[in-house]
């Protein structure tokens, strides 16, 4: 899937749905950056830590749409962490909290983007078993993007 976010059509479609949009660049993140971690408390005493939800966990809780950009540059740990979100379980287990969080059906939508492998920069092909969880669309022209999202917009408003 190739998608240019110079003028992101997903923003307009998401506004029609009345929801939020979380844009996550997965290439430079660890799974704890996406789901959350125990972090030092600002202004707290030394050694005082508290859990802070990561952007993906916040988006899942809120039922937002999530754009996972540069997915083919993501580390193996990020791909494995996303696995349960994308398969039949549609959930995320956070061991630090001992809790499972559900992907909200009918609200949360996950979009994955990647640039073509031939562009270099350490891009690798994602496993077919992972890609099969998405509808793959290639965008080359801004006009194509607008046409596809116009169709989605019509389907959303009906």
- Per-domain residue ranges of the chain: 9-157
Structure confidence by residue, pLDDT tens digits, 54-109? 888 998 999 888 888 888 888 888 888 888 888 889 999 999 999 999 998 888 88
CA–CA separation, 25 and 33 (whole Å): 11
Task: Give yes or no for a contact between 25 and 66, defined as CB atoms under 8 angstroms apart.
Answer: no
Structure confidence by residue, pLDDT tens digits, 28-65? 678 888 899 998 888 878 788 999 998 889 989 998 88
* Pairing outcome for strands 99-102 and 91-94: antiparallel
CA–CA separation, 69 and 92 (whole Å): 19
pTM of the model: 0.71
Give the fold, CATH level 3, of 9-157.
Answer: Rossmann fold (3.40.50)
């Amino acid at each position: 899937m190739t998608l240019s976010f110079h003028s992101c059509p997903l923003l307009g479609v998401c506004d029609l749905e009345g929801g939020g949009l979380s844009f996550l660049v997965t290439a430079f993140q660890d799974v704890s950056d996406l789901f959350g971690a125990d972090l030092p408390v600002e202004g707290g005493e030394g050694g005082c830590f508290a859990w802070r939800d990561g952007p993906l966990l916040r988006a899942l809780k809120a039922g937002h749409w999530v754009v996972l950009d540069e997915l083919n540059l993501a580390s193996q740990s990020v791909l494995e962490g996303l696995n349960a979100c994308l398969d039949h379980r549609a959930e995320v287990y956070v061991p630090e909290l001992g809790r499972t969080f559900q992907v909200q059906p009918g609200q949360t939508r996950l979009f994955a983007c990647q640039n073509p492998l031939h562009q270099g920069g350490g891009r690798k092909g994602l496993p077919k078993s992972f890609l099969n969880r998405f509808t793959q669309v290639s965008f080359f022209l801004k006009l194509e993007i607008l046409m596809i999202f116009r169709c989605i917009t019509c389907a959303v408003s009906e």
